[in-house]
């Protein structure tokens, strides 16, 4: 959307976080607004952790139509919202907020974005055996989404075992039908996995891998939520071993598409949004965040 089409009726959307200077969301959402001829603009709103409450009040006061929320605010915004969807409550994190005439409603589209990205692999999540590498915010959202979708087993391997243990403890009662465990890497090696997911940043800035796939008994499918570089060392090894795999571009795209629909009620033009992401990625630094 070019600046000459902006006027007093232009709706404003954005992404809030710290930092957000390299966010790819403005390119993706502005391309969508332009494609559907929506009088709206999407910008980045840098905000520090100390500014969360004031940032939320700013969304209300300035009638910002909606925002995406990225690190480190996804959990911090919860107390300041008027309504939180059941899924976001389960995850304990919000990544999308809609302003309904001053009433702020929060949801989480990371979960749906990741599950939709798995469709290209044709992974059957119900009854699947899944190993997660990492225990941060992304692992938290994916654990909830995968367990909610019926995974039979989710084991978490993290450099700091206590963090993984806290995550398991928090969600064990919510998902009694899923075998949730903390596992050392050696334990993962000895088990067959339908899906291995890397939620860590290992491989993003340096040519290294969080695990050696040769050491595993069986990995049927692999997902790495890093999307730049497009092919991490882990994904290169998966290709060599002929393990079907995806990077994080699909998750980024589809969480954005879900957010777009949550705000506008319209079907997102995912093809246009994907093209905008790919174009922007050519010049952006390595990343796995919004």
Q: What's the confidence (pLDDT) of residue 1?
A: 45
- Given this model, what pLDDT does residue 283 score? 72
Q: Which helix (H) or strand (E) holds 153?
A: strand 153-157
Closest CA to 143 of 163, 123, 122, 167: 167
The verdict on 103 and 30 lying in the same domain is: yes
Report the pLDDT value the prediction gives residue 285, as an integer from 0 to 100. Answer: 63
**Residue 153 contacts residue 177 (beta carbons within 8 Å):** no
The yes-or-no answer on residue 267 being catalytic is no
Instruction: Count other C-beta atoms under 10 Å from residue 207's C-beta.
Output: 9
- Output the pTM of the full model: 0.93
Q: Do 82 and 154 reside in the same domain of the chain?
A: no
124 and 236 co-located in one domain:
yes
Identify the pLDDT of residue 2: 45
**pLDDT string in tens for the chain (290-residue length):** 444 578 999 999 999 999 998 899 999 999 999 999 999 999 999 999 999 999 999 999 999 999 999 989 999 999 999 999 999 999 999 999 999 999 999 999 999 999 999 999 989 999 999 999 999 989 999 999 999 999 999 999 999 999 999 999 999 999 999 999 999 999 999 999 999 999 999 999 899 999 999 999 999 999 999 999 999 999 999 999 999 999 999 999 999 999 999 999 999 999 999 999 999 998 766 665 56
Identify the active-site residue in 74, 90, 228, 267: 74
Rg (CA), the chain: 19
- Check whether residue 173 and residue 258 sit in a common domain: no
* Residue 34 pLDDT: 97
Range of the domain at 220: 112-247
Same structural domain, 47 and 130: no
Question: Environment class of residue 288 by beta-carbon count within 10 Å: exposed (0-12), middle (13-18) or buried (19+)?
Answer: buried
Our count of domains for the chain comes to 2
Torsions phi, psi for 78 (to 5 deg): -50, -45
Return d(Cα 198, Cα 55) in angstroms, integer: 32
CATH code (residue 60) = 3.40.50.10860
Separation CA 151–CA 147 (nearest Å): 5
């Amino acid at each position: 959307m070019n600046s000459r089409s902006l006027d007093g009726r232009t709706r404003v959307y954005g992404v809030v976080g710290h930092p957000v200077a390299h966010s790819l969301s403005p390119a993706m959402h502005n391309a969508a607004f332009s494609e559907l001829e929506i009088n709206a603009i999407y910008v980045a709103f840098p905000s520090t952790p100390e500014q969360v409450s004031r940032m939320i009040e700013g969304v209300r006061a300035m009638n910002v139509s909606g925002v995406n929320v990225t690190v480190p605010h996804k959990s911090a915004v919860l107390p300041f919202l008027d309504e939180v969807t059941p899924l976001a409550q389960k995850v304990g994190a919000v990544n999308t907020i809609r302003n309904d005439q001053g009433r702020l409603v929060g949801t989480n589209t990371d979960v749906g974005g990741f599950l939709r990205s798995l469709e290209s692999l044709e992974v059957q999540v119900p009854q699947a055996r899944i190993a997660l590498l990492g225990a941060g915010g992304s692992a938290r959202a994916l654990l909830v989404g995968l367990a909610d979708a019926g995974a039979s087993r989710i084991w978490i391997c993290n450099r700091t075992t206590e963090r993984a243990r806290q995550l398991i403890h928090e969600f064990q009662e919510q998902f009694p039908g899923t075998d949730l465990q903390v596992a050392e890497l050696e334990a993962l090696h000895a088990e067959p996995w339908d899906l291995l997911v890397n939620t860590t940043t290992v491989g993003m800035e340096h040519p290294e891998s969080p695990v050696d796939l040769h050491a595993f008994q069986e990995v049927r499918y692999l997902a790495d939520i890093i999307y730049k570089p497009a092919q991490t060392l882990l994904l290169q090894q998966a290709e060599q071993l002929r393990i079907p795999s995806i990077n994080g571009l699909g998750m980024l795209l589809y969480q954005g598409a879900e957010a777009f629909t949550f705000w506008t009620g319209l079907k997102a033009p995912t093809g246009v949004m994907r093209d905008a992401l790919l174009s922007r990625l050519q010049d952006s630094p390595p990343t796995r965040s919004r």
